[in-house]
Amino acid sequence: MPEGNGSSEHRWMAEDAASVLRVPTRGDHKYSRGVVSLLTGSVTYPGAAVLSVEGAWRAGIGMVRWLGEDAVAPFVVHRRPETVLGSGRADAAVLGSGMAAAPDRDESTTRRGLALLASGVPAVIDAGALDLVPRAKGAVIVTPHDGELPTVRAACGLGGARDDVATRLHASAHERLDVVRETADALGGVVLLKGARTLVAAPGGWWTHIDTGVPWLATAGTGDVLAGTIGALLAGCVAQTSSEDVNLESLATVAATAAWLHGTAGRIAAGAGHPITALDVAEALPAAFAEATR
């Protein structure tokens, strides 16, 4: 995987993504390609479960397990019948997409989330589960947008009112990067701040940015696809090594590669420049994968 780039600016490119992506060989099987567990979606947002699962499958995973609410399961299996329902062996986890945040999150969902985080597998934490970050026993990648970043910072013990963080994020590109890097240091994990120019940072100074996307990606559900994509690549990485051997810089390269795939898929789906949906983005992920690895 690429070396950390310290404080020098670095734009994540197709060749960087290609160094992380893995094409299966004749010796592979579903477990060697990685298994990811997703606790995503809710009765209010069932589509988030479908889209995150779709993102994981389309990014090249060996198996997807889905652990959400029973009422949502038929939607997931109807769209992706390959999906396994229930817990079991997994190399990585994704949780939070389409889930209610505290204090509105129900106790059952919170218990399931805490159980996943206590398992010690590397986890992608999104949206409604961001407040649970301190409970993770394994390495984490958090995926907030601007409005969710204060939740991550508060969970890490960083001060500052929400408005102060918002001001810093929009003050300048340099200040925005500083906020993300200091959050990664406080978290002890990888921060992926979503946006037109997505930033990824790991503790200790490693960072990069991704700008492969198009404005049409600013639509509901695309973040759910991204969470599933990151989870799939993370599980594949762990399956080829082990969760103990996956360091934070390697997690950061996985997150950056997933963001590159996601943005490239958005560009492919939008074609000459037309509206797209989140499902369009997920369906274009294989073409984005091929663009990096050809």
CA dist., res. 74 & res. 81, Å (int): 9
Report whether 137 belongs to an annotated binding site: no
The SS3 assignment for 84 reads strand
Report whether 196 belongs to an annotated binding site: yes
Q: CA angle at residue 195 from 33 to 60, to 5 degrees?
A: 15
Report whether 28 belongs to an annotated binding site: no
- Greatest CA separation found in the chain? 53
Written as six digits, the tokens of 256 are 């950056």
CA dist., res. 35 & res. 90, Å (int): 5
In 3D, which of 84, 61, 83, 82 has the Cα closest to residue 235?
61
Written as six digits, the tokens of 73 are 């399961």
Report whether 259 belongs to an annotated binding site: no
The dihedrals phi and psi of 134, each to the nearest 5 degrees, come to -65, -15
The dihedrals phi and psi of 39, each to the nearest 5 degrees, come to -110, 90
Report whether 189 belongs to an annotated binding site: no
Written as six digits, the tokens of 282 are 């997920």
Report whether 4 belongs to an annotated binding site: no
Report whether 195 belongs to an annotated binding site: yes
Written as six digits, the tokens of 188 are 């002890």
CA dist., res. 220 & res. 207, Å (int): 27
Report whether 48 belongs to an annotated binding site: yes
- Bin 127: left if φ > 0, else alpha if -120 < ψ < 50, else beta: left
* Contact predicate 229/223, CB 8 Å: no
CA dist., res. 184 & res. 87, Å (int): 29
Going by the annotation, the residues of the binding site are: 48, 98, 145, 194-198, 223-224
Annotated binding site for (6S)-NADPHX: 48, 98, 145, 224
Q: What residues are designated binding site for AMP?
A: 194-198, 223
